[in-house]
Amino acid sequence: MSALTGALRLAALDKRGITLIDPSPLAAWRSLVLLVPLLLIGAIADLATLPEGIAPIPYLPLGVAVSAMQMTGYLLVVSRILETTGRDDRFAIFVSTYAWCSIVSSTVALVVLAVSLNASEPVANGIGLGFFMWNLYYGWFAVRSALGCSGAVAAGFVALEFLTVLATYALPLQLVLAAQG
């Protein structure tokens, strides 16, 4: 539970939070089990925002598969970048930090979604934009803390993840619509 406390401290922009996340490769492997609740949280969010006329059964498994590919692909690219730059010793702490901070941000995202679904459109948009900005900053702060890198490098890693998600976000819906013909 100290890793969760560390992720919460990082969310509060406390640099000491990174000291509570175990930097060992074993801890990184163990933190990968967190991908299961992350995928479940994503499926809940997808179900809550499912477009009209789209059946949940083909859509949700595709959404989970795409989310799993997004996370896996992102971690593989980060691994390669760190290896190429001679910083592969930081990959284990990066994986643990990524997993635990993703739990925190995904949980906050569910709360934001629940509030937004019950708010007027302008208020929901404002809440969504505020969460998006906080999430970018939190990700940047966590990456910078985990890798001990400059702000620009951390911003690059956050942008990489954002672009990965953006490029594949609509894929499940496109596949379902294509199958419906």
Buried b (16+ CB within 10 A) or exposed e, 80-99: ebbeeeeeeebbbbbbbbbb
Q: Are 143 and 10 in contact (CB under 8 A)?
A: no
Contact 27, 1 (CB under 8 A): no
CA angle 69, 111, 128 (to 5 degrees): 75
Model confidence over 11-57: pLDDT tens digits? 999 999 999 999 999 999 999 999 999 999 999 999 999 988 888 99
In this structure, what token pair is assigned to residue 30?
A: 């163990």
Q: pLDDT class for 181, splitting at 50, 70, 90?
A: confident
Convert the pLDDT of each residue in 48-92 to its tens digit.
999 888 889 999 999 999 999 999 999 999 999 999 999 999 999
Q: What is the pTM of this model?
A: 0.93
Task: Give me the percent of the chain exceeding a pLDDT of 90.
Answer: 92
Q: What is the DSSP letter of 18?
A: G
Which of 82-86's residues contact partners 24+ apart within 8 Å by CB, and which partners?
A: 82/147
Q: How far apart are CA 70 and CA 56, in angstroms?
A: 20
